Chain A
């Protein structure tokens, strides 16, 4: 069975600085997708970035980028130029071939003004 582990329950970063959230996963599949979702206090789960396992190039979306290390089964999220609106719970997630998504327990990110 696939598992997703986020080892940082909480993190804080100064506004305008850069922060990296860690995620590791375990799977025997070779073809899968990885995601980072953001959940602000409004509860709406918002897709931040996604990565196809077959692509070696790391995904980037504006200030958000990932460091995907397939052999190490690591998928970290880097947020550059942190903004107050980035404060939220961040969930790392794995999608298997059956479209089932397995989430980590989340990292709560605080942005310090």
Chain B
């Protein structure tokens, strides 16, 4: 049983560009959450998707948007990239019927030049 997977592993973009990150949840999980982890910091909650809708959102600008597909996989989109968007982006999924803890993927390292 594969765990949470994310792609790509690493990504380099320039300021002003747009980026899409992808996440496949663990089998049997229906809720996906996204986090941004700046270097040397703890992860910060971006938003959460359930039943293809954004259920809640952290303190991030509208440049950050997402989507969840019928198979529960999810995308994180960031528009108009800033240098400060450089970070590790983590995806986490939650088990159906037992929303007590989240399983994390290995993350995507985004570098904005």
User: In the assembled complex, how far is the CB of residue B107 from the closest CB belonging to chain A, in whole angstroms?
Assistant: 5
User: In the assembled complex, how far is the CB of residue B79 from the closest CB belonging to chain A, in whole angstroms?
Assistant: 23
Question: Chain A's interface: helix, strand, loop or mixed, by majority?
Answer: strand
- Whether the pair A44, B33 counts as a contact (CB closer than 8 A) is no
User: In the assembled complex, how far is the CB of residue A106 from the closest CB belonging to chain B, in whole angstroms?
Assistant: 5
Docked CA distance A47–B41 (Å): 17
Known: A42-B106, A99-B31, A100-B58. A33 touches B42 (CB 8 A): no
Chain B stretch 93-113: residues in CB contact (< 8 A) with chain A: 94, 99-107, 109
B56 at the interface (CB under 8 A from A): yes
Question: Chain B's interface: helix, strand, loop or mixed, by majority?
Answer: strand
- Whether the pair A50, B90 counts as a contact (CB closer than 8 A) is no
Known: A43-B106, A43-B107, A44-B106. A100 touches B45 (CB 8 A): yes
- Whether the pair A47, B43 counts as a contact (CB closer than 8 A) is no
On chain B, which size bracket covers the interface? 20 to 34
User: In the assembled complex, how far is the CB of residue A68 from the closest CB belonging to chain B, in whole angstroms?
Assistant: 15
Residue of A nearest to B88 (CB): A43
Chain A stretch 18-72: residues in CB contact (< 8 A) with chain B: 33, 35, 37, 42-47, 50, 52
- Whether the pair B88, A33 counts as a contact (CB closer than 8 A) is no
Residue of B nearest to A108 (CB): B40
List 24 interface pairs A-B (beta carbons < 8 Å), by A numbering.
A33-B100, A43-B107, A44-B104, A44-B105, A44-B107, A45-B43, A45-B92, A45-B107, A46-B104, A91-B42, A91-B43, A93-B42, A95-B100, A99-B48, A99-B102, A100-B33, A100-B56, A101-B35, A101-B43, A101-B92, A102-B45, A103-B35, A106-B41, A106-B42
